């Protein structure tokens, strides 16, 4: 199990541009660095009022293509003491991008503890200090910050040679510690769509029909699933074809063995994902009415 502590990126980080070529378009590099600098400056203005931050590019490296950046802070006014400075802006940037590109993945678990937040994805664990987690929530409310992040995504989208983006510790790391696919990075292309992380989960379900909508539409049927009432449209065209061909008849209490898609959103305070809405994407089998107590578990 790979464990990454996001505070490793508090003051410096190596940006990884995944490409089959060990080179990068100059415009892509320049626009990405400028957009990241703008995002970091805006995040710093939220986290560290009274301090300025400078983004320094220290070195370039291979490994697809890499650029090492670090932050340098200075007081913009003498009314703030040095103890007020939180040198976590780069970690906030990395945490925000990683957290907001998790939505397509159903194998993500998030645990919010007193001192830290644990993000578990497959064989990787990301440890986020609670202070960085809270700062990220504060920064993501800034429209200017989200617009800067979207420009990073848009710059990568224009360069077809870039297949991934990520963060790592050293220029000579064999693989980036955090790598995000091109497809997932494009989730950040529209600032209006950057909200609390969401995800979609599909799973098999046995649904008891309470109310049917016997027409092709996105109007919601009513079902009982695992003892709870849910509403969802049925989107399986073949199912409707069979119904209108009179191969099946529908009545309350009938069952559908189906595959459902669950749209979930994450609570800002607890980090827990909850179900927002449902869709029935495929109907495998229709079963005539039986008593619910007789249904398979």
Rg (CA), the chain: 24
Helix axis angle for 26-47 and 89-99, nearest 10°, is 110
User: How many CA atoms lie less than 13 Å away from 75 in the CB half-sphere?
Assistant: 9
Q: Specify whether the CB–CB gap between 12 and 68 falls below 8 A.
A: yes
Q: What is the pLDDT of residue 115?
A: 87
List C-alpha distances in Å: 257 to 54, 221, 229, 246, 251. Answer: 58, 15, 16, 19, 15
CA dihedral angle for residue 132, residue 103, residue 183, residue 93, rounded to 10 degrees: -10
Q: Specify whether the CB–CB gap between 125 and 48 falls below 8 A.
A: no
- Interval 177-198: pLDDT, tens: 999 999 999 889 888 767 666 6
- pLDDT-derived band at 8, boundaries 50, 70, 90: very high
Helix axis angle for 26-47 and 143-158, nearest 10°, is 170
List C-alpha distances in Å: 276 to 35, 69, 194, 199, 246. Answer: 33, 39, 17, 10, 33
The DSSP secondary-structure symbol of 183 reads H
Q: Which domains does the chain have, with CATH numbers?
A: 2-194 (no CATH), 199-294 (2.40.50.140)
- Interval 216-270: pLDDT, tens: 888 999 999 988 899 999 999 999 999 999 999 998 899 999 999 988 876 666 5
Question: How much helix, strand and coil, in percent to the nearest 5, is found in the chain?
Answer: 30, 40, 30
- pLDDT-derived band at 294, boundaries 50, 70, 90: very low
Cα-to-chain-centroid distance, residue 231: 25
Q: What is the pLDDT of residue 20?
A: 83
């Amino acid at each position: 199990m790979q464990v990454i502590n996001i505070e490793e990126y508090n003051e410096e980080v190596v940006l990884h541009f995944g490409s089959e070529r060990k080179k990068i378009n100059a415009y892509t590099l320049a626009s990405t660095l400028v957009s990241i600098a703008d995002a970091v400056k805006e995040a710093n203005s939220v986290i560290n009022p009274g301090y300025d931050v400078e983004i320094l590019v220290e070195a370039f490296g291979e490994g697809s293509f890499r650029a090492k950046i670090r932050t340098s802070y200075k007081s913009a006014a003498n009314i703030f003491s040095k103890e007020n400075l939180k040198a976590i802006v780069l970690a906030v940037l990395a945490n925000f991008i990683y957290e907001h590109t998790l939505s397509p993945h159903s194998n993500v678990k998030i645990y919010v503890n007193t001192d830290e937040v644990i993000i578990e994805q497959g064989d990787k664990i990301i440890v986020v200090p609670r202070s960085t987690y809270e700062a990220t929530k504060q920064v993501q409310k800034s429209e200017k910050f989200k617009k800067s992040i979207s420009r990073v995504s848009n710059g990568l989208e224009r360069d077809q040679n870039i297949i991934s983006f990520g963060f790592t510790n050293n220029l000579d790391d064999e693989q980036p510690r955090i790598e995000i696919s091109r497809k997932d990075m494009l989730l950040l292309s529209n600032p209006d769509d950057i909200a609390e992380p969401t995800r979609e989960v599909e799973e098999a379900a046995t649904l008891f029909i309470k109310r049917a909508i016997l027409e092709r539409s996105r109007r919601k049927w009513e079902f009982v699933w695992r003892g709870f009432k849910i509403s969802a449209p049925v989107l399986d065209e073949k199912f409707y074809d069979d119904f209108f061909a009179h191969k099946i008849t529908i009545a309350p209490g009938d069952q559908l063995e189906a595959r459902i898609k669950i749209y979930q959103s994450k609570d800002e305070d607890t980090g827990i994902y909850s179900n927002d809405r449902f869709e029935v994407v495929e109907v495998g089998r229709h079963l005539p009415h039986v008593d619910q107590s007789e249904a398979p578990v």
